Amino acid sequence: MIESVEKLTKVQPVVMKQLQTIYEKNRTGHAYIFDGAKGTGKRDVAMFFVKLLSCLNVSKNVPCETCRNCKRIDSGNYPNLFQIEPDGQSIKIDQIRDLISEMTRTGFEEGRKFYIIHHADRLNNSSANTLLKFLEEPDGEVTAILLTEAYHSILPTIQSRCQHIKFSDVPREIIMSRMQEQGISLSMSATVSLVTNDLETAISLAKDEQFAHARKTVLKLVEAVKRNIHEALFIVYDEWLPSFKERSEIELALDLLLFAYRDIVAVKADSKSVLVYPEMVSSFREIALHSTYEQLSNQMQSILQARQNLQRNMNRTLMMEQLMLNLQEGYTFV
C-alpha cells in the first residue's frame, strides 16, 4: 500500500517540499538518488514523485489519485514506469541493458518515462558503467530514481550525475504512535523505538519474546543494583549470564541497561521527553533522588566501558562483576 501524502509529509517534510518545488518550477532532472535508512519512506516517496509528474489533474502540488495515470501507477500497470531490483546480491548488466532498451523503445505512451532502481548501491562495476551514459543523456524525457540505504557505496561517477535527495530518520514519536496503532504497548514501543528507527524491524522486535525477556532482565538488574551488590551479582549469575551468550545479545542488553540510566538522568532533570521505560518512572525517581549527576554519568561511563571490554573479548563474567562494582560505587542507600 502507498502511504498518503499527509503521512509522507509528516515523515519527510523537507524531501516532500523539495520534490513539490521541482514539480512546481518545472525543473525535473534526469536522475535522483533517494538516500535514507531503511523505513524512511523512500519507495513511497518515489511513487509519489512519479505520480506527481504523471497525474493529469494535479492540484496544489498533490496528485489527484483518481485519474487514469494515478490509478495505473497504483496498480503497477503504468507503461511509462520501469523498476529494477537486485537479482540476488547485485544488479546485473543484463538488467541494465533491458532497462535501457525498455526506456528507448518507441511506441510508448506520451509523457515522461521513469525508472526506479532499488538498492542502487548493488550496481556492480559493469552495470554501473553501462548505466552511466544513459543516466546522463537519456533519449527523450526520462527520469531515473535510484534508491539506496548505502549512499557511500554508490560509485562517485554515478553520484555526480544524480541529484542527491537525503531522507531524514523517522522521528521517534511517529514510530511510537505507529506501533501503538498496531496494538503494541506504550512501554514496549518506547523502548523499541530507541533500538531501531525502522518501523518493520521495530514491530517484529516488540513481538519478540527474547527481546521482552532481555528488557525484563535489564530492569531487574537496575532494581537490584539500587539495593546492594549481592543482589546485583545474584541477578548477573542467575539470569543475565544464562540469558545473554552471543556477543550481539550482550551488546543489546548493555544498550538497554544504558537506556535505563539515561532515563534516570531524564527523570532527575525533569525532562519532558518520553522515557525508554515509562512504567519504571517511580522506581527511577527514587534512584534519581539518591544519585548525583556525577554518579549517573560515571555509571553510564562504566556501561560504555563494559561494551568496549566486550569488544576486546574480556571474560564475560569478569566484565559483568566489574560493571556491578562500578555501578554500585558511591550509592548511599541504607
- Site membership for Zn ion, residue 64 (CB under 5 A): yes
| Binding status of residue 267 toward Zn ion by CB under 5 A | no
Show the cell assigned to 20: 513539490
Q: Give least dist CB 34 to Zn ion, A.
A: 21
Least separation in angstroms between CB 63 and Zn ion: 5
134: left (phi over 0), alpha (psi -120 to 50) or beta: alpha
Grid cell locating 8: 509522507
Least gap, CB of 57 to Zn ion (angstroms) = 5
Name the one residue in this structure whose C-alpha cell is 514491530.
203
- Binding piece for Zn ion, criterion CB under 5 A, among 28-36, 63-71, 107-115, 150-158: 63-71
φ/ψ (deg, to 5) at 171: -60, 145
Task: Give the H or E element holding residue 148.
Answer: strand 142-148
Single residue of 41, 63, 86, 138 touching Zn ion by CB under 5 A: 63
**Distance set, CA 39 to CA 190, 253, 331 (Å):** 17, 24, 42
Query: From the DSSP assignment, how many helices (H) and strands (E) are in the chain?
Result: 17, 5
To the nearest whole angstrom, how small is the minimum distance from the Cβ of residue 180 to Zn ion? 33
Q: What is the nearest approach in angstroms of Zn ion to the Cβ of residue 65?
A: 6
Q: Which of 8, 47, 50, 70 binds Zn ion (CB under 5 A)?
A: 70
Instruction: Please identify, among the stretches 68-76, 228-236, 265-273, 304-312, the one whose residues bind Zn ion according to the rule CB under 5 A.
Output: 68-76
Specify the residue, 55 or 218, whose C-beta has the smaller distance to Zn ion: 55
Least CB distance from residue 52 to Zn ion, whole Å? 9
Name the residue nearer to Zn ion (CB basis): 63 or 86: 63
| Burial (Cβ within 10 Å: 0-12, 13-18, ≥19) of residue 184 | buried
CA proximity to 163, closest of 34, 37, 25: 34
CA-closest candidate to residue 249, choices 210, 303, 288: 210
Nearest-angstrom CA–CA distance, 310 and 322 = 12
145 binds Zn ion (CB under 5 A): no
| Binding piece for Zn ion, criterion CB under 5 A, among 57-65, 120-128, 209-217, 267-275 | 57-65
Comparison of 66 and 185: residue with beta carbon closer to Zn ion: 66
CB nearer Zn ion, residue 39 or residue 63: 63
Nearer to Zn ion, 54 or 299 (CB): 54
CA neighbor of 140 nearest in space, from 163, 161, 111, 115: 111
36 belongs to the binding site for Zn ion (CB under 5 A): no
Determine if 55 is a binding residue for Zn ion (CB under 5 A): yes
Least separation in angstroms between CB 124 and Zn ion:
37
Torsion (CA) 17, 19, 23, 28 in degrees, nearest 10? 150
Please work out, in degrees rounded to the nearest 5, the angle formed at the alpha carbon of residue 32 by the alpha carbons of 31 and 37: 155
**Is 66 in a helix, a strand, or coil?**
coil
- Number of residues binding to Zn ion, judged by CB under 5 A: 5
Considering the complex, state which of residue 16 and residue 267 has its C-beta at the smaller distance from Zn ion.
16
| 2 is a contact residue toward Zn ion (CB under 5 A) | no
* The three grid cell numbers given for residue 246, joined into one nine-digit string: 552471543
Residue with smaller CB distance to Zn ion, 55 or 267: 55
Are 19 and 48 contacting, i.e. CB atoms less than 8 angstroms apart? Answer: yes
User: Residue 66 or residue 204: which is nearer to Zn ion going by CB?
Assistant: 66
* From 48-56, 77-85, 155-163, 266-274, span contacting Zn ion (CB under 5 A): 48-56
Q: What is the spatial distance between Cα 83 and Cα 144, in angstroms, rounded to a whole number? A: 10
Binding site for Zn ion (CB under 5 A): 55, 63-64, 67, 70
